[in-house]
Amino acid sequence: MELTNENRVKIRTIFKEIRTNLDAYMGARNFVMSNAQVFTFLSYSPAVLAIASDGEVDEQEIASLERLAKTIDVKAAVNMDLQEMLAVAFEPDEPMTNEEFNLRAGAELLYLSRNAGTYENSIIAALKALLVFDMNPSAAGSLTSSFSALMDSMIKNNKSANKEAELKKINEIKATLGM
């Protein structure tokens, strides 16, 4: 995406919407993220929606989140071009360091999984806003396909008591996100 004045306004608007949707959660958890950290966090948050789809977080899902948390790395998730784009949007004063974020993000994903009833709509709205950046949603490696694959992988081996209801809920979430 070229950084024209129109695109700068679009990026600022999208990130304002994302931050507005995440404000209650970030405030409650004192989780002050830079734009790159917000992007990274949202890139992993579809896992929360999948895990919370059956209404409980079991040991297997915690283990899946622990494995996922080990892969969280802001610098790996946000390349230089994306970082340049994200720098256009408002940044909060004194966000946590990337190292602190990388260490804490997994625990925050677990917290959100356990408290999905409170934050699910906010996460979905923030993800929907972020997906505006997805210029080719059906392409392999796009945000949309990555989010869908992450959700699918989280429930693939889950031994939920009601797998049908869980899959139905995930399909509803995907439809809301335009997947």
Domain residue spans of the chain? 5-173
The model's pLDDT over 133-176, given as tens digits with 9 standing for 90+, comes to 888 888 888 899 999 999 998 887 666 667 787 888 899 999 99
CA distance 123 to 24: 11
Is pTM, for the whole model, over 0.85? yes
Please choose, from the candidates 120, 146, 116, 118, the residue with its C-alpha nearest in 3D space to the C-alpha of residue 131: 146
**Which residue is it, tokens 């622990």?**
66
The model's pLDDT over 15-57, given as tens digits with 9 standing for 90+, comes to 999 999 999 999 999 999 999 999 999 999 999 999 988 888 8
Handedness of CA 45, 51, 57, 61 (dihedral sign): negative
The amino acid present at 153, given as its one-letter code, is: S
